[in-house]
Chains A and B, each alone.
Chain A
């Protein structure tokens, strides 16, 4: 029985009969109900700049037949509104007839607790802590000129109703704490951001003065960049640090292995299953089951239990990431990657926590082996062109490597590479796998979803660095 329809102008039986009736001739589809609370408390320029709270409730009704998707959503959870959506779905799909597929495994797996992180910590204590963060960060050094700190909390409850009375629910906490610091010295300004987060209460990231480490890290990066010199331009060897730099994996191969692009044959990887796409020793998984991680889910947004999906094993392409529709059309099973930003958005295959597993090398060996190259430790965002395979990402902390030694910090530069060939150029895989701190959001077709990445240190033979120095 659905909790969502209490106190609404729509009862459960009516909702069931409407969706039974609408989806009977479809291959798949569901009524997705969502109730999300979110808050943002922002300290900026020595002041609490905003404290805002948002409550978003609504539904999305989806009908899928063959390769067609009809979607209708509204924040008005009422009989009248749902009837209108049903008509809309039927009119789009009127020329096709499907056979409804009921199979979704039920699961009891839980990777996070049912808790409301917003209510879990009072607004007063959050405000006090932001002030403390501001003071601490400003006291670190006289070069600190600006501090911005932000608490972002979310509690998303979803219900998925399918014809025949199937019901799936999930309750998802998510928090993120960001600190960004601007330093100025001798007329130069630099800024850096560091943050942590995941699917548990704020206090798990703040206890034992752990919040100081967030400030320390943001300060360290910004201060380091005050000494940065212009980056070189052109092809060179690149050593990536562990953790967050796995955004390279996310961009270089992750998106290209999402089922929709491969079903449509617009990804460079679409005909490469079973083929070698990366160096020996490169194994990449997409894992929705890691405890309390930002990209983890008990079930995906279609109700499929998440799993650990092997994408590339020892250099060989094994699997794509699938939602139900693309899996059906490609005659395989959903891998639990069907996700959506909210009830306002359609389902697409999306990444969860995308991770490169450990190899045998050490970071020290990698750096020693490079005569001229760069050592990239932290990144801003990245982007990929799925069809040509070209991807970019922006270094926010990088150093030159000269004759096997780490040298000066370098100004932020864009790195560009080619997805299918870059992982074949991996010369060494480290033994120091780390997950990112839990702040990643992936954008695709206008939808943002929380994701994670992870990798050990890695040496890549040849990437183009977008600096200014020739």
Chain B
């Protein structure tokens, strides 16, 4: 059973008291509990099940401006008391950093918790197996599907409490249900895999299993018999499932820790044009049932909607307490990163994007590190399709795509097909003049 708030709060209060007794001038305690259960199947048969039950504490002690933290999965009182002493002792010998502090009191979360982040539904393992079997059965209806890499269903429930010596003590439960199906298609010596997945806070919001299986099989089959293409500069359309990676790179580049250290190509670009003037980027923590929704960050700071980019202009960074002090800005509750991050819908119809030139490359899978946040240089391995006059003509693979994010951001054009499937979401994106490395 997931531990209830009262139980976690009591533990947190005990640990806080002991931290103070042991000589910490300020402290914070984070106790988290999660229980997850998953099943995996392969070729429509049970492959395995996993149950995990974990309870973990992270203690942070401040001694003046000195700081140290300890985490442990052993919550026995005597063990924790030993660790608390060690934590305070370690803090004492750690050099001072004048920026170390808890968040300012007025920034703590105080509001109501009404975002529907927890679904009590409990799905028995047999029902999990039935769900994901249905997905594979659907996938196997296609004759090219000869095998699966495995498909799975998992149910995660977690609860946590954060307490600090400024009097903040709060926490909440959240849940996540997810299902994926990864199948292997084979034809005349060519073998390709692809997947589809769905992940939601509430069980009943998951994609239908049949839809998951159908999509996975269609994607894998469509990749069979890929060709390599000639190296050249071309228009490239990025499928939604990978277009969102540009948002992740953007988020890394405007994180206050990289800004403060100067290790980002977007340093000193606040209030300047980064994207074309039709593009808006929003980070919205209060979407009902949102995958990335949260009430406050890991420091207890409340989170509000941020317009990161307005009409193409960079308006905000993602800021935590420590790095905020370094750049003279207040935390906006992003110590845990972004929440629900998305591009607002663009104007272009998907069909116009893929028909924007006689020949374009459509990419639905990239791999490799991708972007170098310091220089903005971007280079990935990729696979997808050749599109001629708006028609998908054949799959392509073993190619590379390269450019620089400064240039990519300034010329990207957004489709109007945004959907909220993940915590970071993008419509399809068209980028002109990217270098394709092939034959």
Q: A92-B49, A392-B368 are in contact. Are A416 and B400 (CB under 8 A)?
A: yes
Q: A55-B83, A233-B435, A416-B381 are in contact. Are A470 and B232 (CB under 8 A)?
A: yes
Distance in Å: Cβ of B199 to nearest Cβ of chain A: 14
Task: Report how far A380 CA is from B323 CA in the complex, Å.
Answer: 27
The segment from B4-12, B52-60, B270-278, B287-295 found at the interface with A is: B52-60
Which residue of chain A has its CB nearest to the CB of B126? A91
The segment from B259-267, B303-311, B313-321, B333-341 found at the interface with A is: B259-267
Q: A75-B73, A416-B398 are in contact. Are A235 and B52 (CB under 8 A)?
A: no
**In the complex, which of the residues A70, A85, A234, A392 contacts B381, with contact meaning CB atoms closer than 8 Å?**
A392
**In the complex, which of the residues A190, A387, A415, A467 contacts B375, with contact meaning CB atoms closer than 8 Å?**
A190
Q: A54-B70, A56-B72, A191-B374 are in contact. Are A464 and B437 (CB under 8 A)?
A: yes
Taken residue by residue from 87 to 119, chain B's Cβ proximity to chain A (1 for < 8 Å, 0 otherwise) reads as 100100111010000000000000000000000
The segment from A45-53, A99-107, A351-359, A362-370 found at the interface with B is: A45-53
Would you call A317 an interface residue if the criterion is a C-beta within 8 Å of the partner chain's C-beta atoms? no
Would you call B47 an interface residue if the criterion is a C-beta within 8 Å of the partner chain's C-beta atoms? yes
Task: Report how far A48 CA is from B79 CA in the complex, Å.
Answer: 27
Would you call B74 an interface residue if the criterion is a C-beta within 8 Å of the partner chain's C-beta atoms? yes
Distance in Å: Cβ of B333 to nearest Cβ of chain A: 20
Q: Which residues of chain A are near B69, meaning CB under 8 Å?
A: 50-53
Taken residue by residue from 184 to 208, chain A's Cβ proximity to chain B (1 for < 8 Å, 0 otherwise) reads as 1000111100000000000000000
Would you call A383 an interface residue if the criterion is a C-beta within 8 Å of the partner chain's C-beta atoms? yes
Q: Which residues of chain B are near A57, meaning CB under 8 Å?
A: 73-74
Residues B260 and A45 in contact, CB atoms below 8 Å apart:
yes
Task: Report how far A66 CA is from B230 CA in the complex, Å.
Answer: 47
Interface residue tally for chain A (C-beta within 8 Å): 79
Q: Which residues of chain A are near B70, meaning CB under 8 Å?
A: 52-55
Task: Report how far A400 CA is from B57 CA in the complex, Å.
Answer: 51
Residues A53 and B86 in contact, CB atoms below 8 Å apart:
yes
Q: A88-B51, A466-B401 are in contact. Are A55 and B368 (CB under 8 A)?
A: no
Q: Which residues of chain B are near A470, meaning CB under 8 Å?
A: 231-233, 435
Residues B125 and A91 in contact, CB atoms below 8 Å apart:
yes
Task: Report how far A71 CA is from B50 CA in the complex, Å.
Answer: 5
Task: Report how far A386 CA is from B436 CA in the complex, Å.
Answer: 23
Task: Report how far A76 CA is from B51 CA in the complex, Å.
Answer: 13
Would you call A255 an interface residue if the criterion is a C-beta within 8 Å of the partner chain's C-beta atoms? no
Interface residue tally for chain B (C-beta within 8 Å): 73
Distance in Å: Cβ of A222 to nearest Cβ of chain B: 10
**In the complex, which of the residues A123, A265, A383 contacts B147, with contact meaning CB atoms closer than 8 Å?**
A265
Would you call A339 an interface residue if the criterion is a C-beta within 8 Å of the partner chain's C-beta atoms? no
Q: A57-B74, A58-B73 are in contact. Are A264 and B42 (CB under 8 A)?
A: yes
Residues B383 and A390 in contact, CB atoms below 8 Å apart:
yes
Q: Do most interface residues of chain B lie in helix, strand or loop, or is the interface mixed?
A: strand
Would you call A161 an interface residue if the criterion is a C-beta within 8 Å of the partner chain's C-beta atoms? no
Residues 22-60 of A at the B interface (beta carbon under 8 Å): 44-45, 47-58
Would you call B377 an interface residue if the criterion is a C-beta within 8 Å of the partner chain's C-beta atoms? yes
Residues A266 and B149 in contact, CB atoms below 8 Å apart:
yes
Residues A392 and B380 in contact, CB atoms below 8 Å apart:
yes
Q: Which residues of chain B are near A218, meaning CB under 8 Å?
A: none
Task: Report how far A465 CA is from B231 CA in the complex, Å.
Answer: 10
Residues B191 and A268 in contact, CB atoms below 8 Å apart:
yes
Would you call A176 an interface residue if the criterion is a C-beta within 8 Å of the partner chain's C-beta atoms? no
Would you call B439 an interface residue if the criterion is a C-beta within 8 Å of the partner chain's C-beta atoms? yes
B48, B55, B68: most-surrounded residue (chain A CB, <10 A) = B48
**In the complex, which of the residues B147, B404, B439 contacts A266, with contact meaning CB atoms closer than 8 Å?**
B147
Q: Which residues of chain A are near B90, meaning CB under 8 Å?
A: 51, 53, 123
Would you call B403 an interface residue if the criterion is a C-beta within 8 Å of the partner chain's C-beta atoms? yes
Residues 68-88 of A at the B interface (beta carbon under 8 Å): 68-76, 81, 85, 88
Residues A394 and B379 in contact, CB atoms below 8 Å apart:
yes
Residues B193 and A464 in contact, CB atoms below 8 Å apart:
no
Q: Which residues of chain B are near A85, meaning CB under 8 Å?
A: 51
Which residue of chain B has its CB nearest to the CB of A61? B51
Distance in Å: Cβ of B3 to nearest Cβ of chain A: 11
Distance in Å: Cβ of A3 to nearest Cβ of chain B: 15
**In the complex, which of the residues A74, A235, A468 contacts B403, with contact meaning CB atoms closer than 8 Å?**
A468
Extra pairs beyond A233-B436, A390-B398 (10, CB < 8 Å):
A44-B261, A57-B73, A73-B51, A73-B53, A127-B94, A233-B400, A264-B150, A411-B375, A414-B368, A470-B231
Give 11 pairs: A residue, B residue, CB < 8 Å, sorted on A. Answer: A45-B261, A53-B83, A69-B47, A74-B52, A234-B438, A266-B184, A266-B191, A383-B367, A387-B192, A413-B379, A416-B368
